[in-house]
Chains A and B, each alone.
Chain A
Amino acid sequence: MRTVRDLAPTRRDTLRLGAGSLLGGLVGEGLWPARARAAGRSNPRGTARFAIIVEAAGAISHVDTFDFKEDAGTQPDFDVREARPGLYVPHRLFPSLSGLMDRIAIVRTFKSHEVVHFRGEYYTRAGRPLNPAQKEEIPPVGTVVAAELDSQRRESDTFPTFVTCNLGNLALPSGFYHPRFSGLDIDVGAGIGSVAASGDALALLEERYRLLGDLERAVRRDFASRGPAMSAFRSFQEEAYHVLGDSRWPQALAMSDADSQRYGENDVGRGCLLARNLVMADAGTRYVHVKHGGWDHHKRIYDHQAGSNHYKHCNALDRALFSLIVDLEAAVSPRDPAKTLLDETIIAVPTEFGRVPGALNGVSGRHHYNEVYIGLFAGGGVKGGRIIGRTDAAGEHAVETGWKHRIQPKTENIVASVYSALGIDWTKEVTNTPSKRVYRLVDPLGATELCVADEIEELFV
């Protein structure tokens, strides 16, 4: 019946036609090109092509996980075991990851500027503390990555460089960067109908898109003289059509039952599975930010009956992260047969701060604590099995920072390390921001105290 389609150029032709305008300079709102000045003080490693950030939002209790301390809060059913020489992990909480600790580096001495979530989560996503005066122009880390790696996009790349998962309303806009560098947020729980088409739906889309092009051509001159915004939207449509028309896209979004079970049917499981698929597709996505929310256990942290509790969250993270690492390690890099995809993907698990060590509070929970907190790293040049930094017996303070600097590392240094792995000079500065304040990719002017604008070298060498 669809005779129109018989006349249409093949999708391959259309895609090729569109590619030029996809990569050709789009004009529109936002600050692009950002005027960046390389301070030239850093020498990024470039060990990774991809980054996957699994944000434990709500704050993980460090003393109950990867900086385990036996204290008044320790539960008898933790089943603590020595995962590696000198590394004790509650097996009940991390039965799978316990066996994988030679792939994972732990930093135990992070210190946070923040003690409340709305600022803490912002800190994790923007890589710097919230500055109310500047908030509107500050991009999330993934947007910076998308802009910095834009020149590396290949003609065959159709996926957005920056994808987020489960952020919803909390996704930060692209700030002073062009909106095309904003993250595509995918709500893996709600289904992916609006961002994927396949089979008949795709054929119909092709037919309709061709009709749109024909109708546009019929009046092109009329709307060309009304400024660039409307024609720029046509470029966005081409970009979107590329993604939707790319058979790799629905594949990447599809989640088999077997995979879902292995990763876990929850936010972090689905998010990590999506991240794996996007990396394996190697179709343009370089930075995936997965939010794993609900760690804020002020009350009944160890109550198995509570809707959200520490066991449940640790087990979900355990399963998702384990599957992600194992799958990436099993996949040979399409670029370099000597490497696995894990070699080319840096995985970081940040959280916004720690939780109060020692005895539980009056409602059997743990409140916020920012003196020390943990972070996990794997892949992309990270040396597994490392434990960086040492805290005191109670898990209250850092005894050795564990890196070459005297002050404790912060979230800024997680960001610098990810930039470094991706080959981005983290000392770069953008000078033409709307507020005219210089934007440093990693800003040493923390909210509560200075920090070192440096990567955590000890992760890599």
Chain B
Amino acid sequence: MAHSMAKYRKLGGAAPAALLALALAGALAAAPRSEPRIAPEAEARAERAHRSLEQAPPSAAEVAEAITSQAARLRPAAASDAPVLRRNFIDEALFSRMERDGVPHAGLASDGEFQRRVYIDLIGRIPTLEEVLAFDADGSEGKRDRLIDRLIDSEEFVERWSYFFEDLFRAGNRMGHGKNLFRFWTREWLELDRSYADVVADLLTQGGKSSHSSPGALYFARDFVKAKDDPDTPDAHDLVNRADAIDEFTITYGKVFLGLNLGCISCHDGANHLEQVNLYLTSKTREDFFRQAAFFGRTRMIMNWENGFQANTEYTVDDVEPGYPTLSESIVRVPRTGGSNDPKFILDDRPPDPGEQPRDALARLLTGHLQFARATANRIWAELMGVGIVEPVDGFDLTRYYPSDDLPDGWSAQPSHPYLLDELARDFQDSGFSIKQLVRRIASSSAYQLSSQFAHEWQPAYGRYFARRNVKLLGPVQLHDALVTATAVPGAYSSGGDEVGMARQVLDPAYVKGEVSEFLRAFGQQSRDEFPSRVGGSSFQAMLMMNSSAVLDRVQSDGTGRVAKLLEALQSDRVVASAAWKSATGDAPGPEQVDAAVRRGIVEKLYLSTLSRRPVPGEMDVALGALESDVEQGAENLQWALLNKPEFLFNY
């Protein structure tokens, strides 16, 4: 509060509307969690905006108008195809192409839109009310880049992307007690911004006891495939079929690190099967798959026995087997029919060097191949831009990578921008495989910062040009954490011994129980037995947003959240508003004038904290109507309605 009073004295004779707005903003800014500041420029702007009102004492309506005209400033700029600054090679590639093909594009997103977007994408939540005000007040050059840098360096970035990679690596209950270790390790490499190539080499080469010492071994062991029961050991029915487990892991790392779907050729040759599916894989045989799998041909996973019990999520991984058994029984796929088991990297037919351990060779060949950098860059691109340059991100068709006249009828190149993806991949390599740098590169492009609003008639074909921002439904964790931020009501989850409030901090989504678990699942949270996938909207999601305790409990006026705090502050808001009025006009305001100002404050703060923007005049009228007869019930209803607006549920 002291902070806001200081503001007052400094501004002296300014008009009450500005004072009220700033006083309320200052009161909000006094919250401990961030260091907000009202930049001098913003103060000057506010003064200028209201100088005209100094001529006569303002009416309540004028106060209202003044606040909403400020709101208009935070509204998104109208879309336009005005040229945007080409800030890096991404922009050169995308905008040159649009220019060449006569495709119009959206204008740049407003600062407010950009801020909300980059918070969701980079740290997995919407900005707080204080952060919205502070960013808005910052009128200096380069504030978007500085924000990107600050977010990337934050602990929240590590949490959000750790969750992302844990989903990608399916770090769930199949990792057993090792999950804690795996998560610690993931956070560590993200925080240190270790080379992603080194991280992947760890995952491909580590051995040892999976749950205690070795996150890499854990990644292999999680793909264990149960064998058929062995009649000779009736009490052990969770034995591992080694070849099946190797197959599964080969498919896993093919998808995750190379963007290839090798599942098809794990059962049969590509020819005569995949002509309509993937031209590249038609040239590959099941034997090629065996030889890829053979990089793990020596590797075993031995289930640990502890205290007389099998621990089927804990394994010791070592490399002492003779090789991949190409004639062994399979319980997951059609019978194996033999073939070579000499390791050979599927993309370039290279074998291990003489004397080189096969898994070491795999790590070297895989991370050294451009396709590894491409697949990784494409995956991060898809996460930030809503759609990959290659889709699906784990279904590259390398025969169709570059445009060519030699493709069969009906086929065209698969990537929207193959040369750009190559450039991104090389940039990623040059940065020492820095995930942070990759995120920074994409987020700081004008392409990322385009508005989702499109002034021209939209054509579906424009989508692949990235001619406007792709609107995305928030992911399950993003949505949960946006709810937490908007309502200031954290969850209460136990996660690896810690109590945490944000979903992105949870060790395993399976630990979240009850209605919240239902909620996360509805918005696409996979169990981590599955690969992450994006889901579209559904009526079930809508039902939960309207009726789940994950939402209803968070807007309670008798709780501890945003609505409750706003209502608690009503009395002090009244004092502030009266004082502001009096110091500006010399008269004491009537109770209805104070009421009006205070209610506007509530509406504005609910908009800022929920939708990261101020209301437009039409919205203000409707919202005030909702508060009219019962301010407590009205405030609950208003935040409920704002949380249910598609605008809240989408990253636009």
* CB neighbours of A169 from chain B (8 A): 510, 521, 526-527, 529
**A211 partner residues in chain B, CB cutoff 8 A:** 622, 626, 637-638, 640-641
B331 within 8 A of A: yes
Which residue of the partner chain, among A1, A132, A182, A299, contacts B538 with CB atoms under 8 Å? A182
Verify A116–B226 contact, CB threshold 8 A. yes
The answer to whether B235 touches A237 (Cβ under 8 A) is no
Among B331, B334, B453, B540, which residue has its beta carbon within 8 angstroms of that of A115?
A: B331
The reply to whether the CB of B354 lies closer than 8 angstroms to some CB of chain A is no
Contacts of A95 in B (CB 8 A): none
* A contacts with B, residue count (CB < 8 A): 76
Restricting to B510-565, which residues have a CB under 8 Å from any CB of A?
510, 513-515, 517-519, 521, 526-527, 529, 531, 533-550
Please encode chain A, from 230 to 269, with 1 for each CB lying within 8 Å of some chain B CB and 0 for all others: 1111101101110110000000000000000000000000
Asked whether, in the complex, the Cβ of A187 is within 8 Å of the Cβ of B518, the reply is yes
Q: Are A233 and B646 in contact (CB under 8 A)?
A: yes
User: B64 at the A/B interface (Cβ < 8 Å)?
Assistant: no
Q: Which of B277, B543, B619, B638 contacts A244 (CB 8 A)?
A: B543
**Chain A residues within 8 Å of B392, by CB:** 434
| Pairwise interchain contact B642-A215, C-beta atoms closer than 8 A | yes
Chain B residues within 8 Å of A119, by CB: 332
B452 close to A (CB within 8 Å): yes
Query: B547 and A234: CB pair below 8 A?
Result: no
Query: B472, B535, B550, B621: which contacts A179 (Cβ < 8 A)?
Result: B535
CB within 8 Å of A: which of B594-652? 616, 618-619, 621-623, 625-626, 628-630, 633, 637-638, 640-642, 644-647, 649-650, 652
Select one of A29, A132, A219 contacting B618, CB under 8 A. A219
CB of B264 within 8 Å of the partner chain: yes
Assembled-state Cα–Cα distance A2/B264 (Å): 61
Name the distance in Å between A80's Cβ and chain B's nearest Cβ: 26
CA of A141 to CA of B277 in the docked complex: distance in angstroms? 24
Query: A184 in the interface, Cβ–Cβ < 8 Å?
Result: yes
Residue of B nearest to A447 (CB): B334
Q: B515 to A180, Cβ gap below 8 A? A: no
In the bound complex, residues from chain A placing their C-beta under 8 Å from that of B623 are 215
Is A218 touching B618 in the complex (CB atoms < 8 A)? yes
Beyond A116-B226, A205-B547, whether A212 also contacts B514 by CB under 8 A is no
**Residues A1 and B458 in contact in the complex (CB < 8 Å), given A169-B529, A362-B235:** no
List the A side residues contacting B544 at CB < 8 Å: 194-195
| Contact stretch, chosen from A221-229, A286-294, A383-391, A418-426 | A221-229
- Given A173-B533, A233-B649, A237-B546, the answer on whether A180 and B538 have CB atoms closer than 8 Å is yes
Question: Any chain B CB within 8 A of the CB of A375?
Answer: no
Q: What's the least CB distance linking B487 to chain A, in Å? A: 15
On whether the beta carbons of B633 and A2 are closer than 8 Å, the reply is: yes
Which residues from chain A contact B640 at a C-beta distance below 8 Å?
Answer: 208, 211-212
Q: Is A136 part of the contact surface with B, judged by Cβ < 8 Å? A: yes
Given the known inter-chain contacts A194-B547, A194-B548, A241-B546, please indicate yes or no for A236 contacting B637, CB distance below 8 A: no
- B646 lies within 8 A of A231 (CB): yes
B452 touching A4 by the CB < 8 A rule? no
Verify if B234 is at the interface (C-beta below 8 Å from A). yes
Collect the chain B residues with CB atoms within 8 Å of residue A2's CB.
Answer: 629-630, 633
Contact indicator A223/B547 (Cβ below 8 Å): no
Contact code string B211-232 (vs A, CB < 8 Å = 1, else 0): 0000000000000001011000
Minimum CB distance partner of B470 in chain A: A227
Which one of B234, B541, B622, B625 contacts A367 once the chains associate, using CB atoms below 8 Å? B234
Q: Closest CB of chain A to B526's CB: distance in Å?
A: 8
B533 proximity list for chain A (CB < 8 A): 136, 173
Q: Shortest distance in angstroms between B549's beta carbon and chain A's nearest beta carbon?
A: 6
Are B637 and A3 interface neighbours, CB within 8 A?
no
Q: Mark out the residues of chain A between 25 and 48 whose CB falls within 8 Å of any chain B CB in the assembled complex.
A: 28-30
- A195-B543, A244-B543 known; A116-B629 Cβ under 8 A: no
B333 within 8 A of A: yes
Shortest distance from the beta carbon of B168 to any chain A beta carbon, whole Å: 15
Given contacts A115-B331, A116-B331, contact A236 B541 (CB under 8 A): yes
- Is B237 within 8 A of A223, CB to CB? no
Q: Does A214 contact B (CB under 8 A)?
A: yes
Q: Are A180 and B539 in contact (CB under 8 A)?
A: yes
Q: How far is the CA of A144 from the CA of B526 in the complex (A)?
A: 22
With beta carbons under 8 angstroms apart, the residue of A216, A222, A229 that contacts B471 is: A229
A240 contact from B277, B521, B546, B646, Cβ within 8 A = B546
Contact of B633 among A1, A230, A299, A368 (CB under 8 A): A1
For chain B, residues 459 to 473, give those with C-beta under 8 angstroms from any C-beta of chain A.
468-473
**CB-based contact B647/A223 at 8 Å:** yes
**A190 at the B interface (CB under 8 A):** yes
Bound complex: CA A28 to CA B454 (Å): 19
Q: Quick check: B229 and A367 within 8 Å, CB to CB?
A: yes
Across the interface, B539 reaches (CB within 8 A) one of A207, A219, A236, A368, namely A236
Smallest CB separation, B452 vs chain A (Å): 4
Q: Which residues of chain A are within 8 angstroms of B626 by Cβ–Cβ distance?
A: 4, 211
- Asked if A193 is at the interface (CB within 8 A of a chain B CB), the reply is yes
> Do residues B641 and A244 form an inter-chain contact, with CB atoms below 8 A?
no
Q: State whether the Cβ of A156 lies closer than 8 Å to any Cβ in chain B.
A: no
A207 with B515, Cβ < 8 A, contacts A28-B536, A230-B646 known: no
A8 → chain B closest CB, angstroms: 12
A254 to chain B minimum Cβ distance, whole angstroms, is 15
Interchain CA distance A387-B454 in the complex, whole Å: 65
By a CB distance below 8 angstroms, the chain A residues around B531 are 136
Q: How far is the CB of A56 from chain B (nearest CB, A)?
A: 19
Indicate whether B501 reaches chain A with its CB closer than 8 angstroms.
no
Q: Looking at the assembled complex, report how far the CB atom of A97 sits from the nearest CB atom of chain B, in whole angstroms.
A: 30
Q: Which residues of B contact A185 (CB under 8 A)?
A: 518
B432 at the interface (CB under 8 A from A): no
- Chain B residues contacting A367 (CB-CB under 8 Å) are 229, 234, 237
B residues less than 8 Å from A75 (CB atoms): none
Contact A132 B333 (CB under 8 A): yes
Residues on the B chain within 8 Å of A232, using CB: 537
Considering the chains assembled together, what is the distance between the CA atoms of A115 and B638 in angstroms? 54
Q: How far is the CA of A241 from the CA of B521 in the complex (A)?
A: 20
Q: How close is B543's CB to chain A, nearest CB, in angstroms?
A: 4
Residues on B with beta carbons closer than 8 Å to the beta carbon of A231: 646
Min CB distance B173 to A, Å, is: 10
B-contact 0/1 string along A109-123, CB 8 Å cutoff: 000000110110000
Chain A CB within 10 Å, residue with most, of B471, B526, B543, B625: B543
- In the bound assembly, the distance between CA atoms of A195 and B519 in angstroms comes to 11
Q: How far is the CB of B81 from chain A (nearest CB, A)?
A: 13
Cβ distance A326 to chain B, nearest Cβ, rounded Å:
31
A298 interface contact, C-beta 8 A: yes
Residues in B whose Cβ lies below 8 Å from that of A226 = 452-454, 468-469, 471, 652
Residues of B within 8 A of A205 (CB): 546-547
Task: Determine whether A197 belongs to the interface, using a CB cutoff of 8 Å to chain B.
Answer: yes
Q: Report yes or no: A133 in contact with B650, Cβ–Cβ below 8 A.
A: no
Interface members, chain B 246-295 (any A CB < 8 Å): 251, 261, 263-264, 266-267, 276-277
Q: Spell out A's residues near B (CB within 8 Å).
A: 1-4, 28-30, 115-116, 118-119, 132-133, 136, 160, 168-171, 173, 178-180, 182, 184-185, 187, 190, 193-197, 201, 204-205, 207-209, 211-212, 214-216, 218-219, 222-223, 225-227, 229-234, 236-237, 239-241, 243-244, 298-299, 361-363, 367-368, 434-437, 447
Q: List 27 A-B contacts (CB under 8 A).
A: A3-B628, A4-B629, A29-B534, A132-B263, A132-B266, A133-B261, A133-B266, A180-B539, A193-B515, A194-B548, A209-B546, A211-B637, A218-B621, A219-B618, A222-B75, A226-B469, A229-B471, A229-B537, A230-B647, A234-B646, A236-B538, A240-B543, A241-B542, A361-B234, A362-B235, A367-B237, A447-B334
Seed contacts A169-B526, A173-B535, A194-B544; 13 additional CB < 8 Å A-B pairs: A28-B536, A160-B540, A193-B515, A201-B547, A226-B453, A227-B468, A233-B473, A233-B537, A233-B649, A234-B646, A237-B546, A244-B547, A367-B229
Which 7 residue pairs spanning A and B have beta carbons closest together? A29-B536, A218-B618, A240-B542, A239-B539, A240-B543, A169-B527, A133-B263
